[in-house]
Each structure stands twice: as structure tokens, then as C-alpha cells.
Amino acid sequence: MVIALLDLEDLEDGISFISPVGCPRILNTNLRQIIVISILAAAVSLLYFSVVIIRNKYGRLSRDKKFQRYLARVTDIEATDTNNPNVNYGIVVDCGSSGSRIFVYCWPRHNGNPHDLLDIRQMRDKNRKPVVMKIKPGISEFATSPEKVSDYISPLLNFAAEHVPRAKHKETPLYILCTAGMRILPESQQKAILEDLLTDIPVRFDFLFSDSHAEVISGKQEGVYAWIGINFVLGRFEHIEDDDEAVVEVIIPGSESSEAILRKRTAGILDMGGVSTQIAYEVPKTEEVAKNLLAEFNLGCDVHQTEHVYRVYVATFLGFGGNAARQRYEDKIFANTVQKNRLLGKQTGLAPDTPYLDPCLPLDIKDEIQQNGQTMYLRGTGDFDLCRETLQPFMNKTNETQTSLNGVYQPPIHFQNSEFYGFSEFYYCTEDVLRMGGDYNAAAFTKAAKDYCATKWSILRERFDRGLYASHADLHRLKYQCFKSAWMFEVFHRGFSFPVNYKNLKTALQVYDKEVQWTLGAILYRTRFLPLRYGREFGQRESNERSFSAVMMRHGSHGVRMSRVLLLALAMRRLRSLFVCLCFHVGRDIQQETFRASHAHWRGFSFVYNHYLFSGCFLVVLLSILLYLLRLRRIHRWTLRSGSAATLWLEEGLPAQKMAGTL
């Protein structure tokens, strides 16, 4: 009797669970409603694919146009939208030897994919001009009065504060990085200057500024930052998208696998400033290089992933910049001329009517050298070939084949499969006067340089007065153009051993729409961990779903009823999340395409953001849910039929049992 009553209670519970009243509304869905849901899902998928196709079509057109103007000065770049809350900012101050410059950068919200880098670009004001400001003198001038450094640099920071939205100040990182001018100071003076900055700036400004954000960087760091900057602008850190892109096989440094992978070919850089010259390019894992000439770093946000690990050879040569080389040259001819005059009893260079004939100056120009209270008079002969020959000993080359300037080791360069960009003096020498910036051709450059050197100074001056040269070319450039052209030629071909028929050097001031500075590489490297912050948001969603699954597992032991309801709820939750995520990515995709019209940054083969893979997963999940609903519907009908039969048996059997009990 007791057993029968217990069975009856369980049966009634079961019937109430699967009855139309107690059952969730979704389980009562008829076939017509399921078909309507399927049609709506198909319509959403079709809309999504249409957006993807349109985006790919116009994205490819924009990339093609972008490659046709890689060295042009672009004037139609849009101003940075400071009202957009999804735009982030960063500031870098370049404290050089002659002055300090501040650069304000911005980037859209990261897409959350740890395989992608931030899309950093220079901020542009309302007039679409880059937000950059320069002041003089250099910060090293305050070596004896470090307490004045904060006042010296405040105009730069005030300038940045006016352009960065006030609400973004506290999350905007500020980096003050000092270069050559500070390196020559004693360590005690360097420390005093940095301490003044670290003490006063946080009081005056709300920027994100910690102790590690102000430092004196080495020449090696500066070279690495410059290499990162140019390759980032060129898109060489992106995934391979087109079959016609130049690729190389590399073995990833630090990877456990020894198999080579295909990766975009990175570009090397050549930078000749006033004091020093630098070269930097990627070297394979198999090439052994001294540690002081090698930089191995990870640009990715995850230190455990080696996708963005690079090995770069970096060499800096002090005294090999254009101005420093001219000073060394003048010192030598002065010393040699004085010695010859003493031995031979001549008066060369001691009077204007007996000048020293300098082959590295334009024809008939007059110049002077002042040393130790003495004056030596020069007159140019404009002999480019003789000038090159005179400059060759200054390379300090050795007889060894794998050496460059000063006998420093240089890893082999695969000239047939390489690309280099020349900045600063490489660009000024080819463009300011000769108007040949861009693709470098040794034969054409040599002819133009010869013609310039052999032209009388009076004619060159007349052309200058008529405005036939670049707007930023001055008389100092015209006077030493012949020397610097010969010096650049010798450094490139003799010092770094590039063949005269090398066709893959581009001299540039801007690449695509950006003036490439090492500061761009610096902020890209120093903010590389920021994508982890955006990744945590996606991780939180997964954590919530795992918690929900854990609840289901705990209640699963109470029977199949709870598990079915929770499984269905979890499935609907995932469907809703997928739908929201789809709408979010479509909207954000369009927004970021508009923001980054000149530099598309979406990866066609990224595992997370492959549109076809994402859509396929969405359809599979949707189909699984529909099949599960059909199965539950069949179980529901079968249970109702079984429940009706059991109820009938009870109605007929209970009276008989009661009579038997009374007897």
C-alpha cells in the first residue's frame, strides 16, 4: 500500500513535469513556429554574408589604392574623432640632442584577438594635421640645472593635453624617452633630470606616467623602435592575405618547433642622421650574431606565443652621420694641408687667393674652416668621383668580407629577396635638391649628383632663389649637397656592401600617410600588452558560461528533468550570445573600416575572425538546437500518450484496490 502510494506520487510528478502547463513554452513549439525561426535565422545569416562581401570588395579596392601612393603626402586624412569613446591615446616625447618633439598617437578599440596588434596611428587635429610639436634646445642643455627640466617640457605636455580629451587623460600613457644628447651626459646628471620629471609631471598632469615611462634609451633600442615603426606601417606584422605578397620562410625564435613557416617579408632600415648612421634588418635563427648587435623581442601580448617574435640585427655608427662625417673630413684636410705646407713650404689654403681645392664642394663655391684660431680657405671643384675616392678611407673597412663600417660584423643580406627603406639623410640627399626621392637607382643618382657638383655655385644659387628646390632646402643643404651625396653613396655601397644594381631601396619621409619615426615603434612595443585588457572581457563571458554549466552538472543527479531544462536554457543562452556577438562584430567591423580607411587591419585568415568559420559555427549551433527541439517535442507527445493510459488504469484500478483493502 505504501509502495503503491509512492509510485503514484512519482508518476504524478512526472506527468506534471511534462504536461503542457508545467512544460516550458519553448517545448510546446509547433512545426510552423520552428520553420519561422529557421527562416529568420537564414535571413540574418544572408544579411551577414552580404555585409562581409561588400566589406571585402571595398576593402580590397582601398588596399590597392593604398599601395599606389605609399610615398605620397596625403592631404585627405580625416581628423581624429575625439568624441568617439572607443578611441584610445598615447603620448611619446622624443628628447633629442637639438630639441624635443612630442607625438600624440591614437588607436581604435582592440578587437580582442590576441594575435592582432593595436592599430596605432598619429592623431590629427581639426585641420587634419598630425599632432606634433617641437621645442629647442635639447634636454641635455639642462644638465647643470635639472630642476628646470619640468618647466622646459611643460609646453609640450600642455599641447598634448589640449588635444587629448580630458576624460581620457588618466588612461593615456605618457613616455619621455631621451636619445643621443642625454647618452653623452654622466649618469649622475641623467638621473637628476629623470628624477625631476618623475616628481613634477604627475603633479601637473593626469597622464598615465610611471617610473619606467621616463628613461634614456640606447642606440640599439632606438634602432629597434625605428625598425618596428616602418614594418608596422608597411603591414609586415599582419597575416598573409594575398598570393602576390612577398613572403619568406622563417624558423620562429624561441619556438619548440624547428619547422619553417611562411611569414611576410620584413623590410630593413637605413637611417643617416647628423651624428650617426644606423642599419637594422631581420636575421634568421640560424645566423649567429653577437648579443650587442642582436635584438630578439616579442611584439605580441602573450609571451607564450611566438607568432610575433623577431630577431633583428641593429648596428649604430657614431661619427658616420652627414654632419659628423663632414667635420671629420674637414679635420683631416686641415691637418694634412698644414703638414704639407710645413714640409714643402707652400701656402695652400692660408689665403683667399691660394685656396685648398675641395672636390666635395660645388664648382667655384668659397668656404672656410676655422680651427685653433687659424683659418683655411676652400674653393670647390665639384668632382664627384674624386670626392668619393677621397671619402673611402673614412669607411674604416677591413679586408674581411662580412664586415661593414669600422670593421663591425654584418650578417649576410639576401639582396635578391630583401627590401630596405632609407630615412633622414638618405631621403634628403635624393629629394631636397636632386628631386629623386622614392625608388633608388644608383646609376641615375650618380649622374644627377655629378651634374650637380659640376654646376657653378652662382647657377645653383640662382635656382634656389627661383624656388626650384624643395621648400625645406636651405643654403646649407645646397653647399654640402655634393659632399653628402658622395658620403651617402659610399656608406651604402662600400660601407654596407650593397651592390650598385640593387633595386629595392626606397628613400622616404612618409610611408602611406605617416611620417615614420622611431617613436611609433616605441609606443607599439610598450603598449603591446594592452590587448590583454580587452581579451579579459571575452574571458569573462566564457567564465559565466562555465559557471552555468557547473550548475547544470550539480543538479544533473536529480534526474533527467532538470538536465533537459538546463541544457535547453544553456543552448538558448549560447544562441542569444552568438546572435549578439554577430551583430556586435558586424557593427564594429563597419565602424573600424571607416576609422581605418587607409590601413585595413583585419586578418582574412585569423582563426577567431574568419567570417566563414564564424558563420559556419553559428549555423551548426542553430541546427543542433532545432534538432533538439524536435526531439523534445516527440518525447513530449509520447509521454502525454503514456500518461493518458496510466491515468486510465488508475481510474479503473483504484476502486478495486480500495474494496480489497476493506475486506
**Binding site annotation covers 621?**
no
Is 472 a residue whose pLDDT tops 90?
Answer: no
Calpha distance 606→501 (Å, rounded): 38
Number of separate helices (H) and strands (E) present in the chain: 16, 20
Known binding residue 345? Answer is: no
The more confidently predicted of residues 242 and 237 is 237
Q: What would the mean pLDDT of 514-522 be, rounded to a whole number?
A: 85
pLDDT (0 to 100) of residue 597 = 42
The residue-averaged pLDDT of 310-316 equals 95
Whether 277 has a binding-site annotation, put simply, is yes
CB 86 within 8 A of CB 109: yes
Of the two residues 370 and 7, the one the predictor is more confident about is 370
| Conformational region of residue 271, where left means phi above 0, alpha means psi within -120 to 50, and beta covers everything else | beta
The pLDDT of residue 33: 63
- Which residues are known to be catalytic? 222
pLDDT band for 651, please (50, 70, 90 cuts): very low
Nearest in space to 193 (alpha carbons), one of 100, 59, 291: 100
- Can you name the residues that pair with 309 across neighbouring β-strands? 298
C-alpha cell at 139: 634636454
Query: Model confidence at 611, in pLDDT bands (50, 70, 90)?
Result: low
* CATH number assigned to the domain with residue range 54-217, chosen from the 4 options 1.20.1430.10, 3.30.420.40, 3.20.20.120, 3.30.830.10: 3.30.420.40
pTM for this entry: 0.68
3-state secondary structure (DSSP) of residue 609: coil
Q: What are the DSSP E strand ranges found in 220-293?
A: 247-250, 261-264, 268-272, 276-282
Residue 65 clears pLDDT 60, i.e. is over it: no
Q: Is the pLDDT of residue 11 over 70?
A: no
Query: What's residue 552's pLDDT?
Result: 40
Q: Quote the CA–CA distance of 65 and 61 in Å, as a whole number.
A: 6
Domain limits, the chain: 54-217, 318-515
CA angle 512, 517, 523 (to 5 degrees): 105
More reliable by pLDDT, 390 or 13: 390
- The candidate with the shortest Cα–Cα distance to 143, out of 95, 103, 203, 176, is 95
Q: How confident is the model at residue 569 (pLDDT cuts 50, 70, 90)?
A: low
- Give residue 581's pLDDT: 47
Q: Provide mean pLDDT across the span 287-301.
A: 89
Q: Does the annotation list 92 as a binding residue?
A: no
Q: Please say whether the beta carbons of 432 and 343 come within 8 A.
A: no
| Domain 318-515, classified CATH 3.30.420.150, yes or no | yes
Q: Measuring CA to CA, which residue among 211, 204, 205, 174 is closest to residue 89?
A: 174
- Is 312 labelled a binding residue? no
